[in-house]
Amino acid sequence: MAKRVFSAALLGSALLALAACNASENESASGGSLDAAEKASETLLKTGGNGDNWGAIGYSYDEQRFSPLTDINDKNVGQLGLAWSADLDDARGQEATPVVVDGVMYVTHAWSKVSAWDAATGKELWKFDPKVPGERAVSACCDVVNRGVAVWGDKLFVGALDGRLIALDRKTGKELWSTQTFDTSKPYTITGAPRVVKDMVLIGNGGAEFGVRGYVTAYDADTGKERWRFYTAPNPTKAKDGAASDDIFASKGNATWSDKGEWQTSGGGGTVWDAIVYDKDLDQIYLGVGNGNPWNHGTRSNGEGDNWFLSSIVALDASTGKYVWHYQETPAETWDYTATQPIILAEQAVDGTPTKVLYHAPKNGFFFTINRSNGKLIDAKPFVDGINWATGYDMATGRPIENPDARFYKTGKPFIAVPGALGAHNWHPMSYNPKTGLVYIPAQQIPQGYLADMDELDKRKVLGFNVGTSLNKTMLPDDQKAFRAAIAATTGRLVAFDPRTGKVAWGVDYPAAWNGGTMTTAGNLVFQGTSTGRFRAYAADTGKQLLDLDMQSGIVSAPSTFRVGGVQYVAFMTSKGGAFPLVAGIAGGVTRKVPNIPRLVVLKIGGTAQLPAPPATTTLAWTPPPMTAKPAEVAAGKAHFGRYCQVCHGDSAIGNGFTPDLRVSGTLANADAWKSVIIDGALKDRGMVSFARVLTPQDAEAIRAYVIERSNWTKANLPEVSAPMGR
């Protein structure tokens, strides 16, 4: 017993000495010090801990989404069963990764709601609803989603769709403070998760499709007071903003934007709507920056300049927000090739030297390995097949070797790009397993047409996407072969990429796109849910499928794993949601028939609980009103639908069982009821605001004529593949 006491005393002295040596490390940016709970959070975020907790959406600061747990492994994963589940509010996209600290699980839901659960039993502990106004949905390009919380000490942080950054007491869910992060008169949103660094909370925003200027802000974790801000697009007047980005724009960045072009009124875009990663080793923050506004570089910047910092990885000093370096993956971006996809920090031998690297697989289809000390490109190789906008990267310059035809605004010809705007990899998290050296990417193939031949309707408006390309003229033609080809061309793939060789080590093909994020473990496992409703586990080294569970609903989120009471669990959320099911139309393929069930699911070895009975198959009454409108009215309605409606109700008015399929809407046969929604805003509380600012009652009636025509045409020509799906 004496020996144990003596050892404990020595350990206590050692810990005190270590704390003294690291005092400066635990000092906040404002000169104060972290309390005990905050120090524990910082340690967990730096190390990831022993796997009992999943302390951040990416597991730790490195955001590898790798757990050291091995209780569930490649020998017993087939014995996973349901521990518990909970149905959630709001049949919209559920994109959060469950965060678990000290046996309590925290998740965000659609509409920025937050809930806390006993992670082992499924007992709901509290729920917080920020009551986001339904009208804000019109500013959300890609659904009213939220990707998770950040935990810091006794606080929990969430970004709300309407721009509030909110601090909650993580034990009770009570609001502690709230700060408005953007001008609500502009079409900004927040869908990403905050990150906490040095007692600061960092958050970005979305809205580049509509026309805003991107930035990231750091706020004091205790008070919500702004510490610093970094803009990712220049001030239209090229004046200084008093921001951390002032010097780099004044010295170099402004010169990369033309003095002509629409960016000066649109804001330029460049929103940081997802990836914000802290490098604990170099004390740097990395931002994944989004697309420009408009997409079309010819319209945005007169076809001139690289347009810093669009589609770039930007490194900042963590304490001040000052610029350190950047690497632009897609210079003069023009296809919505964002660099906002998840960023992973790792170490890799480069020319025999251990090197701190950053891994990134953005929309443009190339996998980047970047030296995070200086931003130098180490490698860029394709992680999907069929890329046609570029043939590769010039390693001497770090620039893509472009296909001249891809610059559609220069050629004046349409260009069908692979990948398209939804990307070879979208927001769905990838993961990295240090044991295998592989990165597991939820990849996809979704071609898209681009056309710069714009008419008056395509030009900038106060509502709707403003992307500088014709949306209505690139909808599918009235051709059965084209519709079936769209289904065949739209696929998904789990890619195990080896950054050391620049090649795909193994892959698993899926019949549809928009599959869930990945998570990997020391048990030689990779977990992923699919858009067709399966939850699967694969051997991390070989890709052999080891588990296949029916989850009744699509899965877009990424799982996490943790241990409570000596038992390892795996948790994830189910739902359809996000940009693809909103806009896909017929290209949704088999996923159109998959139910949309918002649910939290937790598995364990030997779990015997059962999911609720699946919902009954809904057969919607498909009895379109007769065609009475003249062809000119239908054509006008098609143009307006393509401009304003397809991004939420699907290409060619074919719904995906997610938002209402207008072909079977109860208002379709009633002109007054239709007008009450589109013009009068009868459903604004549900996100369907009035479009009276851009449409006349006659325009709305023309859209109704077009949807009636679509309903009749698809029923007569494609009933087996386009039948309306229930919500």
What CATH number does the domain containing 665 carry?
1.10.760.10
% of the chain exceeding 70 in pLDDT:
95
3-state secondary structure 451-478: CCCCCHHHCCCCCCCCCCCCCHHHCCCC
Q: What is the rounded CA–CA span in Å between residue 288 and residue 425?
A: 14
DSSP designation for 558: -
Share of the chain above pLDDT 90, in %: 90
CATH code, domain carrying 335: 2.140.10.10
Whole-angstrom distance, CA of residue 364 vs CA of residue 335: 9
Write the pLDDT tens digit of every residue in 223-278.
Answer: 999 999 999 999 999 899 999 999 999 999 999 999 999 999 999 999 999 999 99
Q: Are 707 and 637 in contact (CB under 8 A)?
A: yes
Q: Is residue 254 part of a domain?
A: yes
**pLDDT tens, 590-608?**
999 999 999 999 999 999 9
The catalytic site residues sit at: 336
Binding positions: 95, 147, 191, 207-209, 271, 291, 336, 363, 426-427, 645, 648-649, 688
Q: Is the pLDDT of residue 618 over 90?
A: no
Only one residue has tokens 């009749």, namely 712
Q: Is residue 439 part of a domain?
A: no
Q: What average pLDDT does this structure show over 486-497?
A: 97
Tell whether the model's pLDDT for residue 24 goes beyond 50. Answer: no
Structural domain tally of the chain? 2
Asked whether residue 723 is domain-assigned, the answer is no
Which of 426, 455, 472 is the endpoint of a domain?
Answer: 426
Binding site as annotated, residues for Ca(2+): 209, 291, 336
> Of 389, 411, 426, which one is at a domain's C-terminal end?
426
Is residue 335 in a domain?
yes
Closest C-alpha to 363, from 423, 310, 312 = 423
Residue 216: give the domain boundaries: 187-426
Q: Is residue 250 part of a domain?
A: yes
pLDDT tens track for 409-440: 999 999 999 999 999 999 999 999 999 999 99
**Which two tokens mark 221?**
């974790």
Residue 82 lies in a domain: no
Angle (CA) 250 256 260, round 5°: 100
Q: Give the DSSP H/E element, type plus range, for residue 491.
A: strand 491-498
In a domain, 364, yes or no: yes
Using the 3D structure, point to which of 392, 426, 460 is the last residue of a domain: 426
Residue 339 lies in a domain: yes
- Given the structure tokens 């990150």, which residue do they identify? 195
Question: Tell me, what's the pLDDT at 615?
Answer: 82
Q: Strands, E, within 361-479: which ranges?
A: 366-371, 377-382, 390-394, 399-402, 415-417, 431-433, 438-445, 448-450
Beta strands in 109-245 (DSSP E): 114-118, 124-128, 150-152, 155-159, 164-169, 175-180, 195-197, 200-203, 215-220, 226-231
Q: Which pLDDT score is estimated for 658?
A: 85
pLDDT, residue 727, reads 61
